[in-house]
Amino acid sequence: MSQQHSILIVEDEEPIRVGLEDVLVFHGFAVESAADGRTGLHKALTGGFDLILLDLMLPGIDGYAVCERVRAQDPEQPIIMLTARGTDEDIVRGLRLGADDYVAKPFSVVQLMLRVQAVLRRTRPLAALPVRFTLADGTEVDAANLSAHRDGVAIAELTRREMETLQYLAAHAERPVAAEELLHRVWGYPKQASPETRTVAIHIAKLRRKLESDRAEPRLLLTVRGAGYRLRLTP
């Protein structure tokens, strides 16, 4: 699971947005950007980014609202606010809504990169994936042995990729995970690659065949329409 860190830039001022893209690509990040709040929010909710650089004053939905909605879905999503005014009030409000840090515009590249690297260091420290976990129907999954047991009886053997997919979903069981995020995080595809979400769909189908008692009506590995897949663990 090694890949470049990915960053989403949500910024409506073109010179700043393009400047940020150039700097971040130069520093080895995979970069995507959005020029308004609505597009930014959609990308943020479906993209599985390591970090979001979020301008506050945006057309459509403002940065505060984007921050709040993203946080509601993924409490651990690292966010750095870009604030034009840099007034205490903006900063306090943004931090209260869950941003990790802020950078006041205009900023220097050095200043920005220090903040970016600091946030990435402390927020996603190679999140350890769970090795043993129990699904909602009592099936016990053992990643070390690539196996699943129910009532002490082995019911399935999983491939490594199937298991990594399951582990990633288990680590984020509180929310649906988009196919694009799985491709990026589990398969290690760069963010810009054309999403081959069919690959993910095929793996999900295989997992259902192995784990669900009725795969026409999944009760463990759910499809959340328009959002992705969600794994149900034991409460």
Which residues contact Ca ion (rule: CB under 5 A)?
12, 55, 57
Shortest gap between Cβ of 25 and Ca ion (angstroms)?
21
Helix, strand, coil tally for the chain in percent (to 5): 40, 20, 40
Backbone angles phi, psi at 167, to 5 degrees: -65, -40
Shortest gap between Cβ of 64 and Ca ion (angstroms)?
12
| Minimum CB distance to Ca ion smaller for 55 or for 162 | 55
Shortest gap between Cβ of 55 and Ca ion (angstroms)?
4
| Minimum CB distance to Ca ion smaller for 12 or for 196 | 12
**CA–CA dist 153, 202 (Å, integer):** 26
| Minimum CB distance to Ca ion smaller for 55 or for 180 | 55
Given its phi and psi angles, is residue 93 left (phi above 0), alpha (psi -120 to 50 degrees) or beta?
alpha
Shortest gap between Cβ of 166 and Ca ion (angstroms)?
41
CA 24, 29, 30, 32 torsion: positive or negative?
A: negative
- Residue number with the smallest Cβ distance to Ca ion: 57
Helix (H/G/I), strand (E/B), else coil: 187: coil
Give the residue among 170, 164, 137 at the shortest CA–CA distance from 151: 137
Shortest gap between Cβ of 191 and Ca ion (angstroms)?
23
| Minimum CB distance to Ca ion smaller for 12 or for 68 | 12
User: What's the residue count for the chain?
Assistant: 235
| Minimum CB distance to Ca ion smaller for 84 or for 173 | 84
